[in-house]
Amino acid sequence: MKYQASKNRYNEMKYSKCGESGLKLPMISFGLWHNFGSNADYNNMKELCFTAFDNGITHFDLANNYGPVPGSAEENFGRILRDDLATYRDELLISTKAGYKMWEGPYGDFGSRKYILASLDQSLKRMGLEYVDIFYHHRMDPDTPLEESMMALDTAVKSGKALYAGISNYNGETMEKAAAILNELKCPFVINQNRYSIFDRTIENNGLKRAAKENGKGIIAFSPLAQGTLTDKYLSGIPDDSRIKVDGRFLKQDILTEKKLEQIRRLNNIALNRGQTLAQMALSWVLKDSEVTSVLIGASKPSQIIENVGIVHKIGFTDEELMMIDEISAN
């Protein structure tokens, strides 16, 4: 039976303006970094997308190199779009990126105009789209003039192949320079995508969080659960189906020291006292300030999406809770 979206999909989710733009993002967005590659189960991919959309998650975030193999996440999502979600295209916010290695040779990586625009064309072909809603430059490139990379984003928007421009993994200083260039070009640059979690405060330390607010740009946070360590998954050991054992590319077993596990246990106690799971509290913490527009979640099971959506009515923290979280994470 062909998929039909829930009629109640907009009843619970909350949406926030992305910086000073008119674009609204759901509080929770769905990232396809993991579990959408060529080695993943296609039927499960569909159920993940359907569950997300049925719960008001309108934003689906990809990149050219998501897989494995690179490009396969876009291909699989494109198939789901074509077969099941095409009717809802105007309700969906679809983003992709270019910046990491995608093909061999000097033109398949980083930030040259040739690479960025060629990559976008490839991404659109893989997903079967005429345009994406947000197109990001995925990382800073020390060997390409910033003006060149930003002008490539401007071309992507003005050619109609993207509606908005974004940057990812930029620090505050470079983000401000990028904003100045794109503002002068009258290019709708609206969003920064960066890692942010209780355990990773980089955007606070490198000036990005401050600069985004001062320049009227949104932030969407990835890895809010610190690759799964900010969940109750590892409180009693390492499960056989955990990312550490199944994949191991991004989360190594040696990170789960006794000290780290003790931090996780203490944070879990705070979450339980709040009436949340640790994962829910970690997501709520990222969204506690207005600077962060949306938080990106990944999932291997539909039930994880449903659990995470449960945060929409419990974002606030007491001063005591915030102090305790800071004290635990600082150690």
Binding-site residue set for NADPH: 33, 61, 193, 225, 298, 300, 304, 307-308
Binding-site entries: 33, 61, 193, 225, 298, 300, 304, 307-308
Distances (CA, A) of 131 to 27, 123, 160: 23, 10, 7
The C-alpha atoms of residue 58 and residue 25 are separated, in whole angstroms, by 8
**Contact call for residues 146 and 174 (beta carbons, < 8 A):** yes
CA distance 325 to 320: 9
Residue 253 contacts residue 238 (beta carbons within 8 Å): yes
Contact indicator for 25, 218 with CB cutoff of 8 Å: yes
CB 295 within 8 A of CB 18: no
CA-to-CA distance for 242 and 298, rounded, in angstroms?
13
d(CA 191, CA 199): 22
DSSP 3-40: ----TTTTSS--EEE-TTSS-EEESEEEE-SSS-STTS
- State which amino acid sits at residue 192: N
Task: Count the helix, strand and coil residues of the chain and give each as a percent rounded to the nearest 5.
Answer: 45, 15, 40
Residue 129 near residue 94, CB atoms below 8 Å: yes
